[in-house]
Amino acid sequence: MRQSKPQLIINGKRIDGREPQDLRQIKMEVGILKNADGSALVEIGGTKVLAAVYGPREVVPRHQEQVDRAIIRCRYRMLSFSTLGERKSPAPTRREIELSKVIREALEPAILSTQFPRAAIDVFVEVINAEGGTRTAGITAASLALADAGIPMLDLVAAVAVGKIDGVIVLDLNEVEDMYGEADMPVAAMPSLKRVTMLQLNGVLTPDEFKKAFALALEGINKIYQFQKEVLRKKYVEVEE
Amino acid sequence: MSSTPEIPIIPKIKLDTILNVVTKGFHIDKRPLLNYRNIEVVKNVAPNADSSVLVKLGHTQILVGIKVDVGQPFPDNPEEGVLIVNAEYIPAASPSFEPGPPDENAIELARVIDRSLRESKAIALDRLLIIPGKKTWIIWLDIYVLDHDGNLVDAAMIGSMLALAQLKIPYFEVDQVTGSIKIDKSRYTGSLSINRYVATVTVYKVGDVLLVDPTAEEEAIASASISISVSEEGNIVGMQKRGMGFFTEKEIEQAIDISLHKGKELIELMKRFSS
Amino acid sequence: MSSPVKRVIALPGDLIVIDKNISIEGTNLYKLSENTYIVTTISIQDYEEGEKKRIRVVSLKGRYIPKEGDVVIGIIIDVTLSYWLADIKSPYPAILNASDYLGKSFNPALENIRKYLDIGDVIIAKVAQFDRSRLPTLTVQDKGLGKVIGGSLVEIEPSKVGRVIGRKKSMISMLTEQTKCEFVVGINGRILLRCPNSDLEYIAILAIKKIEEEAHIIGLTERIKEFIINEKVKRGLIRYETE
């Protein structure tokens, strides 16, 4: 149900009180599942995403295997009660199928998959609560889960969306901003190598606005990346009483 | 079509170890056979759901969420509201689970929970009715297994019961002219009425020994199990035998005794968690 | 005693830049340029001062990848007419040929090899061959290899096996001495224990799990020894430390 557009910027601030360049509050946890080889939970604002990784493991069915590298398989999925409004049917939507591919391709450049020919690495992203930015939180969580599984990567992948709302370029859109804003641009990158692994734009930006938005996204990605590293490091230092 | 499942491969020496400890009266984690693992409950983990609960039973983790909606009552039951239970074993939960629609185990789990809640009249479905025969609240209860370390049914029932106990019915208005219903989820009409608590206790047979709450490894070597749902009044409100083995008549009697006793404990625990 | 060591946790994406006075080693390093390396897994990074400056990067997590000569513990998962398939906790199951196991050629038409090894049986074996283009093959033709009859199996991260053994076998000798258990350590992260009683077995398992969790800590052997002694005191196996 699309209601009339609310005012998104009031006195320079956003509806949740943030400045344009602010991220929402972030919480990350690693290694929360026993069975999965790697797992992570990422919360950003009201968005909560679980990622689990299995592998490298044998490829079933066999015909999918590739002789010179591991295949990466990824499924992004929203739990039936994760969105506002009606219950979502469990059957995969076109959106979920596209995002599964986009997330996989955001991770592929980081994973050293040629080290495991004929094997598979499976990535499962489950959205528990959706309030904007589920694909980017999914990528951030999946890359933590891959690290937790010990899968060799050139870098962690961190992701965030930028956008334009009421004419202002802002970082990390929430649900309402995403719905009523003029543009929404999710970006993923490997920060230490400065490689961009996902870029999508839904909306309209001038070339200048794009430049500004892109720079803001990379700044946000850097902060999320620092957060990822801190969480991974803490997991091992904690033991040292 | 249901066919004989592949038997999970457990190293023989591990199998011997488990059988050996179980015969001495303990689980492999040193608990007595009729003790549950530690149970942890986290409420409201998915705020967009109308109610949600995460249950941790040892390393088993189950997430239950509820969405309510307005729709038509079932034609064969026009005087009651609707409860729909679904379950899914997500592929994150075990290396042997595959992505795809729920398999026979997930569907069986959902239906065991559904029947136990329905037949015991655990929740007041009649009070969910808005316009008899025409409009009612529909409760969609979805169970997701996030991490599988055994005894999924008992954990799923705890999660389902607690999610229902937390559920608030949104505020609504009936348009007298068109008969349409306007829902406002920012306000509430009240809580869902719980008539009684129900617990499911699954008794597993490992060798000749009966036990509750196995880990996944122990569960894999159980020849059979029986899920017995009990109400807070001490009635048996649902049963389901599973597995390729069997129970003797005497074992069934023992299983019922165990379930009545452990069910009472679980119900007390649930009541503490929901207050 | 070796040179003083500075230890940090290194993570995927960490860049290590070295000059020509420093040597660097680690299986999980990706060479980006002449003097720059990328850490690719969660690791401990040791920096050794002293005459020869050295950086060592060791993974804390990761699947086992077979290497020729490794002694591994496998579980039989399939039987064919002339060979067995064993799970060795790697992405690839391993082949054990019946002729190797029996130490002679044999005729599959006359014998069913299931009577020697069946699904679920545990074996200690050595990786005979692996080149990543075909499945690894195993051999049991060496001392101490073959079918396992009794004992307990513990699984740990393969990357932490080195810590369970310890430098110059210091950890495993201490474990053996303190728990009186016999240990067979598979490089693939499976450890077989044979213990005098269930209390000592339980303590040994707890100790191994503790080594796994605290693998990155310096001075681990002493710490684990203390832990075992405390556990023994707690269980009334000893009154106080006697040595």
> In this predicted model, what pLDDT tens digit does every residue of A79-112 receive, in sequence order?
999 999 899 999 999 999 999 999 999 999 999 9
pLDDT at B270: 97
3-state class of B163 per DSSP?
Answer: helix
Closest CA to C120 of C78, C170, C177: C78
Rounded to an integer, what distance in angstroms lies between the CA atom of residue C77 and that of residue C93? 9
Contact C153 B15 (CB under 8 A): no
Which residue, among B7, B10, B14, B23, would best test binding to C if mutated, counting the most C CBs under 10 Å from its CB? B14
Q: Kindly write down the DSSP assignment for every residue of C96-134, as one continuous string.
A: EEHHHHHTS---TTT--GGGTS-TT-EEEEEEEE--SSS
Task: Tell me the residues of chain A between 119 and 148 that have a Cβ less than 8 Å away from chain B.
Answer: 122, 124, 126, 128-131
Whole-number CA gyration radius for chain B = 20
pLDDT band at C218 (very low <50, low <70, confident <90, very high): confident
Q: What is the reported pLDDT for C243?
A: 47
For residue C152, which residues of chain B lie inside 8 Å, CB to CB?
13-14, 17
**Across the interface, which of C87, C153, C202 has its CB nearest the CB of B13?**
C153
Q: Distance (Å) from the C-alpha of residue C8 to the closest C-alpha of chain A?
A: 9
Nearest CA in chain B to A90: B101
Task: Provide, as residue numbers in chain B, all residues whose Cβ is less than 8 Å from the Cβ of A91.
Answer: 101
Mean pLDDT in residue range C33-48? 94
Amino acid residing at B227: S
- Touching check for C75 and chain B: CB below 8 Å? yes
Contacting residues of A for B101, CB less than 8 Å apart: 90-91
pLDDT of residue A200: 98
Q: Is B123 within 8 Å of B193 (Cβ atoms)?
A: yes
pLDDT digits (tens, 9 = 90+) for B84-107: 999 999 999 999 999 999 999 999
Pick C63's closest partner by Cβ from A148, A150, A190. Answer: A150
Residue C240: predicted pLDDT: 64
For residues A189 and C110, the model is more confident at: A189
Average pLDDT, chain C: 92
B148, B93 contact by CB (below 8 A): yes
Q: What percent of chain C has pLDDT over 70?
A: 97
The predicted pLDDT at position A2 comes to: 54
What span, in angstroms and rounded, lies between the C-alpha atoms of A99 and A109?
Answer: 17
Distance, in Å, from the CA atom of C29 to the CA atom of C86, rounded to the nearest integer, reads 30
* Residue numbers of the domain that contains B176: 12-274
- Is B11 close to C150, i.e. CB distance below 8 A? no
Q: Which fold has domain C152-234?
A: Ribosomal Protein S8; Chain: A, domain 1 (3.30.1370)
Look up the CATH architecture of domain C5-59.
Beta Barrel (2.40)
Residues of chain A in contact with residue B147, where contact means CB-CB under 8 angstroms, are: 33-36
Nearest beta carbon to residue B69 from set A39, A86, A122: A86
Total number of domains in chain B: 1
Inter-chain residue contact C152 with B9, CB threshold 8 Å: no
Nearest CA in chain A to C158: A150
Nearest CB to C13 within list A38, A192, A240: A192
Q: Residue A90 and residue B86: Cβ atoms within 8 Å?
A: yes
For residue C241, is pLDDT > 60? no
**pLDDT band, residue A1 (cuts 50/70/90):** very low
Calculate how close chain A gets to C220, using CA atoms only, in Å.
11
What tens digit of pLDDT does each residue of C166-190 get? 989 999 999 999 999 999 999 999 9
| ipTM score for this prediction | 0.94
Q: How much is the pLDDT for A207?
A: 98
Pick from B86, B88, B92: CB nearest A52 = B92
Number of B/C CB contacts below 8 angstroms equals 28
Backbone angles phi, psi at B176, to 5 degrees: -65, -30
Residues 63 to 122 of A: which have CB under 8 A from any B CB?
75, 77, 79-84, 86-87, 90-91, 122
Name the strand (E) or helix (H) holding B68: strand B60-71
Q: Considering the domain boundaries, does residue B235 fall inside one?
A: yes
What mean pLDDT comes out for the span A206-227?
A: 98
Quickly list DSSP for chain C: ----EEEEEE-TT-EEE--TTEEEE-TTEEEEETTEEEE-SSEEEEEE-SSSEEEEEEESS------TT-EEEEEEEEE-SSEEEEE-SSSS-EEEEHHHHHTS---TTT--GGGTS-TT-EEEEEEEE--SSS--EEE--STT-EE--S-EEEE--GGGHHHHH-GGGHHHHHHHHHH--EEEEETTTEEEEE-SSHHHHHHHHHHHHHHHHTTT-TTHHHHHHHHHHHHHHHTTS-SS---
CA distance B15 to chain C (A): 9
What pLDDT, on the 0 to 100 scale, is given for residue A241? 39
Give the integer Cα–Cα distance in Å for B242 and B18. Answer: 21
Touching A: which chains, 3+ CB pairs < 8 A?
B, C
Summarize pLDDT for A123-139 with one digit per residue, the tens. Answer: 999 999 999 999 999 99
Closest CA to A134 of A71, A204, A186: A186
Chains that touch C (3 or more CB pairs under 8 A): A, B
Q: What is the pLDDT of residue B190?
A: 85
Instruction: Please tell me the CATH superfamily of domain C71-147, with its number.
Output: Nucleic acid-binding proteins (2.40.50.140)
* Residue B154 within any structural domain of the chain: yes
Integer-rounded Cα Rg, in Å, for chain A is: 18
Q: What is the mean pLDDT of each run of 10 residues along chain B (275 residues)?
A: 88 91 93 98 97 98 97 92 97 94 96 98 94 93 98 98 96 86 87 94 97 96 97 98 97 98 98 92
Mean pLDDT for A182-186 is 97
* Model pTM score: 0.95
Chain B residue with minimum CA distance to C154: B14
Neighbour-count burial of C243, counting CB atoms closer than 10 A to its CB (0-12 exposed, 13-18 middle, 19+ buried): exposed
Q: How confident is the model at residue C84 (pLDDT cuts 50, 70, 90)?
A: very high
Indicate the SS3 state at residue B271: helix
Answer whether residue B57 is part of any domain: yes
Residues contacting residue C182 through CB under 8 Å, at least 6 positions apart: C176, C193, C194, C195
**A157 in Cβ contact with A197 (< 8 Å):** yes
End-to-end CA distance of chain B: 44
Give the model confidence (pLDDT) of A12-66 as tens digits: 999 999 999 999 999 999 999 999 999 999 999 999 999 999 999 999 888 999 9
Mean pLDDT of A151-180: 97
Neighbours of chain B (3+ CB pairs under 8 A): A, C
Contact C159 A150 (CB under 8 A): yes
Distance (Å, whole) CA A78 – CA C204: 43
**Separation in Å, CA B67 to CA A228, B50, B142, C15:** 33, 5, 8, 48
**Whether A209 contacts chain B with CB within 8 A:** no
Percent of chain A beyond pLDDT 70? Answer: 97
- b/e string for A72-104 if b means 16 or more Cβ within 10 A? bbbbbbbbbbbbeeebbeeebeeebeebbebbb
Using a CB-CB distance cutoff of 8 angstroms, which residues of chain B are in contact with residue A126?
A: 90, 92, 144, 146
CA distance A14 to chain C (A): 34
Does residue C36 have a pLDDT over 90?
yes
CATH number where B219 lies: 3.30.230.70
Rounded to the nearest angstrom, the minimum Cα separation between C106 and chain A is: 30
Six token digits for residue B10: 């457990």
CB–CB of A126 and B90 under 8 A?
Answer: yes
Quickly tell me which residue has 């956008």 as its tokens. Answer: A163
CB-based contact C75 B17, cutoff 8 Å: no
What residues in B contact A79, CB-CB < 8 Å? 46, 63, 65, 142, 144
| Closest-CA residue of chain A to B85 | A80
Report, at the CATH architecture level, how domain A19-236 is classified.
2-Layer Sandwich (3.30)
